[in-house]
Amino acid sequence: MSQSPAVALTRELIRCPSVTPADAGALDVVEKALKAVGFETHRVVFSDAGTPDVDNLFAKIGSGAPHLAFAGHTDVVPPGDPARWRFDPFAAEIADGRVYGRGASDMKGAVAAFAAAALGYVERHGAPKGTLSFLITGDEEGVSINGTVKLLEWARARGERFDHCIVGEPTNVSTLGDMIKIGRRGSLNGRIRVIGKQGHVAYPHRAENPAPIIAHIVAALSGHELDKGTTHFERSNLEFSTIDIGNKAVNVIPGEARAEFNVRFNDVWTHDSLKDRIRQVIRQAAPNANVEVEFPPSNAVSFITKPGAFTELVIEAVRRVTGHTPELSTTGGTSDARFIVNYCPVLEFGLTNETIHAFDENARVADIDGLCAVYARVIERYFAG
């Protein structure tokens, strides 16, 4: 069965079991394809104390401005129990017009589609009048410490200057062309510990029960309106994920209670201002209690690329290829675009996200080819001025 270069490359990438942070040959596949048409490539390994080493790829063709970058990742989440898959999660089988396998949608299909679009452009025109580049990491599904953030710093130190970037995250909800991400909410985790005094339930005056206090704090934070949303963002939301006392004795007043939460926040907030607000709400809810609040480090900040000429160029390409006018959205989780926005305007557009991180993850063959066509039109128009 004949298949397009984008689909063939997608299948080749899926067959690399690159569960984060392992590369398993995935970057070799991308590098080989790009080098074949003249891309200059660099493999850069970054490490950090207590975290795994991560292999990254930077590739470029052409020089100077304008500089269009594509950013993505070849690492994937674990497949889970292979017996629950229709096919081997790393076999890249095609059935019912879909390619099955871990990473098909998130996001090996998009990496393959952009690579195929770039190869086609170079074969037709040669090197662009400007720069076309790839920033590909194996760290996006993990702690995101030794991947894109350091690759960007490395590229800047070499003198690279990016004008615009597309990230191939699976942005579309159900149909190719229905959504472009122009920003993302930030993420902040928090841990609360209420310290009481253990004692016998028959003598409450000799103890200090932290259970009612943690309940007051949970209710106060859950009911607190952080904001009303902004022009491009939904309102920020705080959600508790666990409340723990761990007391197995029914006749003992516990000595402490704990709770953990996550906040997805919009561009009203920074990490510091949000931490201050949370501490304020806790003080008001439990003014005399012994409460400790901890915020683990986070690099998930809120960001926005305000619509402009580049956004319109991508919208036009999506509309021309798919027939759909995409919604501009900031919904969903975090992505490596949060790092890239510090270097240039960045948009996210990829495949649909219906099956990402799930058993039987798959991508429509027609969507992979359609995405390649969108990327190809973006590249053509971008370098046509």
Which residues are tagged catalytic? 75, 140
Rounded to an integer, what distance in angstroms lies between the CA atom of residue 10 and that of residue 344? 28
